[in-house]
Amino acid sequence: MNFFRLIILKRFNTLLLSLILIFSLYSLYIFQFQYDGHHIGLMYSNALDLKNGKTPFKEIFIQYGILTTLIHSIILDLFSNKIFMLNFITLIFYQFSILLITLSIKNLINKEFAIISYLILIMNHPIPWLPWSNYIAFFFITFCIFLLTQKKTNYIFLGFFLSLVFLSRQDYLISIIISSLVIFLFLLFNKKILNCKNNIVSSIVGFCIPTLIFIIYLLGNDIIYEWLTLLSLPKFYIDIYNTTILELIYNFIIFFISESFFNFILTPQYFLISIILILNTILIFLKIFKKIKMENNIFFTSIICLCLSSMTLKIELFRIYTSVSIGIIPLLWFINSIDSSSLKKKFIIILILPSLFSFVFYPMGNNPAFSKTNFQVDAIDHNLHEFNHHKWPLQKINSLVKLSKLTKICKVDYLENLTFDAIYSTVGNFDRIRFLPYVKSSMKDSKLSFFLDKIKNPDENFVSLINRKILKENIILLINEGNYSFDNHKIIINSNYNMLEVNLNTIDEKPDLLRIYFPKKCGNKI
Please tell me the predicted confidence (pLDDT) of residue 266.
73
| Distance of alpha carbon 260 from alpha carbon 274, whole angstroms | 7
pLDDT digits (tens, 9 = 90+) for 167-211: 999 988 888 888 888 888 888 887 777 778 888 899 999 999 999
Q: Which helix (H) or strand (E) holds 422?
A: none
pLDDT digits (tens, 9 = 90+) for 121-161: 999 999 998 999 999 999 999 999 999 998 888 999 999 99
Please tell me the predicted confidence (pLDDT) of residue 31.
86
Q: In which band, very low, low, confident or very high, does the pLDDT at 444 lie, cut at 50, 70 and 90?
A: low
pLDDT digits (tens, 9 = 90+) for 389-423: 888 888 888 889 999 999 989 999 999 998 889 99
Percent of the chain clearing pLDDT 90 (strictly above):
44
Q: In what order do the strands lie in the sheet with 475-479?
A: 414-418, 475-479, 513-519, 497-503
Phi-psi region of 371 (alpha: psi -120 to 50; beta: other; left: phi over 0): alpha
Q: pLDDT: is 399 or 98 the higher one?
A: 98
| Distance of alpha carbon 118 from alpha carbon 116, whole angstroms | 6
| Distance of alpha carbon 347 from alpha carbon 451, whole angstroms | 50
From first CA to last CA, the distance across the chain in angstroms is: 65
Q: pLDDT: is 52 or 240 the higher one?
A: 52
Q: Give the lowest-confidence range in 76-85, 388-397, 414-423, 476-485.
A: 476-485
Please tell me the predicted confidence (pLDDT) of residue 6.
67
pLDDT digits (tens, 9 = 90+) for 228-261: 888 887 777 776 666 677 777 777 777 777 766 6
Average pLDDT score, the chain: 85
The beta strand positions in 314-433, using DSSP E, are 376-378, 391-393, 414-418
Furthest CA-CA distance within the chain: 81
Q: In which band, very low, low, confident or very high, does the pLDDT at 117 lie, cut at 50, 70 and 90?
A: very high
The beta strand positions in 91-247, using DSSP E, are none
> Is 381 a residue whose pLDDT tops 70?
no
| Distance of alpha carbon 431 from alpha carbon 267, whole angstroms | 42
pLDDT digits (tens, 9 = 90+) for 451-470: 777 777 777 788 889 999 99
> Could you please report the per-residue DSSP string of 196-237?
THHHHHHHHHHHHHHHHHHHHHHHHTT-HHHHHHHHTHHHHH
Please tell me the predicted confidence (pLDDT) of residue 441.
60
- Over range 21-39, report the average pLDDT: 88
Please tell me the predicted confidence (pLDDT) of residue 505.
66
| Distance of alpha carbon 315 from alpha carbon 321, whole angstroms | 10
* Contact yes or no for 326/304 (Cβ under 8 A): yes
Please tell me the predicted confidence (pLDDT) of residue 393.
82
Beta bridge pairs of residue 475 = 414
Question: Which residues does 393 contact at the CB level (< 8 Å), separation at least 6?
Answer: 35, 372, 375, 376, 377, 506, 507
Please tell me the predicted confidence (pLDDT) of residue 416.
92
| Distance of alpha carbon 478 from alpha carbon 517, whole angstroms | 6
Helices within 312-340 (DSSP H only): 317-324, 328-337
> Is 94 a residue whose pLDDT tops 90?
yes
In a 10 Å sphere around its CB, with 0-12 CB exposed, 13-18 middle and 19+ buried, how is residue 361 labelled?
A: exposed
pLDDT digits (tens, 9 = 90+) for 293-342: 888 889 999 999 988 887 765 677 788 888 899 999 999 999 999 988 88
